[in-house]
Chains A and B, each alone.
Chain A
Amino acid sequence: MKFLPLVWRNLARNPLRTALTAGAIGLAIALVCLLLTMPNGLDVLLERAASNTRIVVHNEAGLVYPLPYAYLQKIRSLPGVVGAASWSWYGGVFEIEKGVTFPNFAVEPEPIGTVWADWGIDAKQLEDFRRYRDGAIVGGATLKRQGWKVGDRITLKGTLYPVDLQFRIVAEIPNDRAPFLLFQREYLDQALRAAGRGGLDTLGIVYVRVDDPARVAPVMAQIDTMFKNSEAQTASETEKSYFSSFFSMLSGFVTIILIVTGLVALCIVFIAANTASMSVRERLGEIAVLKALGFKRRLIFTTLVAEAVILSGLGGALGALASLGLTQLLHARASSWNSSLGPLGSFIVTETILVQGLFLALFVGMISGVVPALGAARRSVAETLREVF
């Protein structure tokens, strides 16, 4: 401890260099901490986004392939199924020239309240959705972004189907995670018939709600078995698994980010090592004098490594705390999905991540300090004095 003031004075010798090095290390540690929140953050997001009693049924060949509409009724008749609704992609665009778009689907209005009871749509609004053929339910995020409200009328231009549809907004999904616009399937069906394009006899996916989480697996197996030898075989999965297949596309991206993070950390080791070695090289004479005064090699080595570790530890602590502060701030503004922040509120720097960041910083400091410190400690005093003075 009595050598700490000496270590501290040496760190303060070149304040700008010390601040810049600590800043670089802090930035890298903040980046590492933020990236370490990703796997856990995605899990949290997945847990919140998915229900444990909802099943998604789609064509086994892939999501872009439709299923016969008749499948819906067969699925509804299975024991344990409390509701099922089909979603068919309409592909409507609000302002095509400005590229204003959001996901919009044709659905059956009756089972919405049952299948998505967790959305908490107002009962009166749900009733209006069932009553008005041109009614639309719009996600809160989309309403906010477009500046719409319940009662407004909007027109979507069809891109997949050659019909433009006018809607009256009758309900809001009070949930920022659901940016959809849902409207009655019959409305699209009638519009297509009126346009001489025949009716809507297929569906995109079927959402099924079962009465008990324990029955999810048997119902999925029943559905897939039921359509096994039919023209379009189905693949059923839990909603969580369905979403995770989307997120799995991100996991490769996460892996790349983590690799890049590792490389950034390595670069920081080199930067810190360069700083440590410059600092030692500048003080070779002083170090030789300390040795002449009787400072042993081990003591010289320890004080120099301590300098690097303290510098790196301070930078790392600042970076880790900054990342903690940033994620807490984002979480305070949006605990889950937010229209302006997206999923950022779900990524939290935990105590474990904080400790990991700090240990990484200390490790970087130690690695970067060892080589120059070892060199300085092993150098002959007489030789250094002769060379430097």
Chain B
Amino acid sequence: MIELQDVSRVYHRGADEIHALEHVSLQIGRGRFAALMGPSGSGKSTLLNILAGLDRPTSGSVRVAGVSLNELSEDELAAFRARHVGFVFQFFNLIPVLDACQNVELPLLLTHLRKAERRERAQTALRVVGLAERGAHRPGELSGGEQQRVAIARAIVTDPEIVVADEPTGDLDARNAVEILGLLRDLCREFQKTVVMVTHDPRGEKFVDEIHQLDKGVLRHSAAQREAAAR
């Protein structure tokens, strides 16, 4: 599902070169729940952005859902994201002037679906995350955990193969964090989604299938969950 070969990413800040990723090779299979872990500045978010088609590698190849992202233009990358990738952010990033249902419906505006169908799918996605009754509420009227559920509903409403989540529990209390991790795991189990999550949260280890450890832009270790737990 996700294949990265010898991926490097270098940023230029003035005269300085920042090596965010160095020669990272990685494979994540379909329906797997993978965690990218490591200290701050280790390149986790950069790696997530590259495999989600938000950023381009300086070198190396990226192949996701059978598509080589290196060859796509900006507009093609946008179309790729709309079709294949769902996003969950740390701070939920819902549009405050839209209600929960309209937020979930946003990615469907890019499809050819009619308004009634869009609305129906948005309500279905809200049902999946357990917020069917909160569709008319604006983000400001929802708790942090509820907002993150709405964000997850938005991420899955187009039925993408991949869901990427950047610190999805970073702004939540312990109870909500566990619920969100459980929900992401259910997406893998029940809907065969490939979920890639950047996290600092050690509780995440219990939910994921595999963990990829990064440090200073280098992939140090990849392991299945049992192996990781034993370490």
List A residues at the B interface (Cβ < 8 Å). 2-3, 5-6, 9-10, 12-13, 285-286, 289-298, 380-382, 385-386, 389
B93 engages A2 (CB within 8 Å):
no
Give the interface segment out of B75-83, B123-131, B185-193.
B75-83
B75 engages A297 (CB within 8 Å):
yes
A385/B54 contact (C-beta < 8 A), A293-B107, A294-B81, A297-B74 known? yes
- Separation of A358 and B55 alpha carbons in the complex (Å): 42
- Residues in B with CB closer than 8 Å to A297 are 74-75, 78
Give the interface segment out of B64-72, B84-92, B218-226.
B84-92
A294 engages B91 (CB within 8 Å):
no
A289/B109 contact (C-beta < 8 A), A294-B79, A296-B75 known? no
Instruction: Report which residue of A286, A289, A389 has the largest number of chain B beta carbons within 10 angstroms of its beta carbon.
Output: A289
- Separation of A12 and B107 alpha carbons in the complex (Å): 21
- Residues in A with CB closer than 8 Å to B102 are 5
A12/B97 contact (C-beta < 8 A), A297-B74, A389-B89 known? yes
In the complex, which residue of chain A has the Cβ closest to the Cβ of B82? A294
- Pairs of residues from A and B, 10 with the lowest C-beta to C-beta distance, nearest first: A294-B82, A382-B55, A9-B97, A382-B49, A289-B93, A296-B78, A294-B81, A382-B54, A293-B107, A381-B54
Interface presence of B2 (CB below 8 A): no
B54 engages A286 (CB within 8 Å):
no
A296 engages B91 (CB within 8 Å):
no
Q: Indicate which residue in A298, A386, A389 contacts B90 across the interface (CB closer than 8 Å).
A: A389
- Separation of A2 and B45 alpha carbons in the complex (Å): 33
Starting from the known contacts A297-B75, A382-B55, A389-B91, 12 additional A-B residue pairs (CB-CB under 8 Å) come to A9-B97, A12-B97, A285-B93, A292-B87, A293-B106, A294-B78, A294-B83, A295-B82, A296-B75, A381-B55, A385-B54, A386-B45
In the complex, which residue of chain B has the Cβ closest to the Cβ of A294? B82
A291 engages B78 (CB within 8 Å):
yes
- Residues in A with CB closer than 8 Å to B90 are 389
- Separation of A22 and B36 alpha carbons in the complex (Å): 48
B-side interface mostly: helix
A293 engages B81 (CB within 8 Å):
yes
Chain B proximity of A8: nearest CB distance (Å): 9
In the complex, which residue of chain A has the Cβ closest to the Cβ of B79? A294
Interface presence of B115 (CB below 8 A): yes
Chain B proximity of A16: nearest CB distance (Å): 15
A2 engages B109 (CB within 8 Å):
yes
B107 engages A294 (CB within 8 Å):
yes
Interface presence of B142 (CB below 8 A): no
- Separation of A289 and B95 alpha carbons in the complex (Å): 9
Can you list 28 pairs linking A and B with CB atoms under 8 Å apart? A5-B102, A6-B98, A6-B106, A6-B109, A12-B97, A13-B97, A285-B93, A289-B95, A291-B78, A292-B52, A292-B87, A293-B81, A293-B82, A293-B107, A294-B107, A294-B110, A295-B82, A296-B74, A296-B78, A297-B75, A381-B54, A382-B54, A382-B55, A385-B54, A386-B45, A389-B90, A389-B91, A389-B93
In the complex, which residue of chain B has the Cβ closest to the Cβ of A9? B97
A293 engages B79 (CB within 8 Å):
no
Contact with A along B148-176 (1 / 0, CB 8 A): 00000010000000000000000000000
Instruction: Report which residue of B90, B95, B115 has the largest number of chain A beta carbons within 10 angstroms of its beta carbon.
Output: B95
A296 engages B87 (CB within 8 Å):
no
- Separation of A5 and B99 alpha carbons in the complex (Å): 12
A293 engages B55 (CB within 8 Å):
no
- Separation of A6 and B93 alpha carbons in the complex (Å): 16
- Residues in A with CB closer than 8 Å to B80 are 294
- Separation of A6 and B91 alpha carbons in the complex (Å): 21
- Separation of A382 and B50 alpha carbons in the complex (Å): 9
- Separation of A295 and B75 alpha carbons in the complex (Å): 9
B106 engages A292 (CB within 8 Å):
no
Chain A proximity of B90: nearest CB distance (Å): 7
Chain A proximity of B114: nearest CB distance (Å): 9
Chain A proximity of B111: nearest CB distance (Å): 10
Chain A proximity of B51: nearest CB distance (Å): 12
- Separation of A2 and B118 alpha carbons in the complex (Å): 11
In the complex, which residue of chain B has the Cβ closest to the Cβ of A383? B55
Instruction: Report which residue of A5, A294, A385 has the largest number of chain B beta carbons within 10 angstroms of its beta carbon.
Output: A294
- Residues in B with CB closer than 8 Å to A286 are 93, 95
Chain B proximity of A110: nearest CB distance (Å): 80
B81 engages A292 (CB within 8 Å):
yes
- Residues in B with CB closer than 8 Å to A382 are 46, 49, 54-55
B81 engages A289 (CB within 8 Å):
no
Contact with A along B13-55 (1 / 0, CB 8 A): 0000000000000000000000000000000011001001011
- Residues in B with CB closer than 8 Å to A389 are 89-91, 93
- Residues in B with CB closer than 8 Å to A380 are 55
- Separation of A341 and B79 alpha carbons in the complex (Å): 63
In the complex, which residue of chain B has the Cβ closest to the Cβ of A382? B55
- Separation of A298 and B89 alpha carbons in the complex (Å): 24
- Residues in B with CB closer than 8 Å to A290 are 106
Chain A proximity of B140: nearest CB distance (Å): 12
- Separation of A273 and B55 alpha carbons in the complex (Å): 30
- Separation of A101 and B120 alpha carbons in the complex (Å): 79
- Residues in B with CB closer than 8 Å to A2 are 109, 115
- Separation of A6 and B89 alpha carbons in the complex (Å): 21
- Separation of A43 and B54 alpha carbons in the complex (Å): 63
- Residues in A with CB closer than 8 Å to B95 are 6, 9, 286, 289
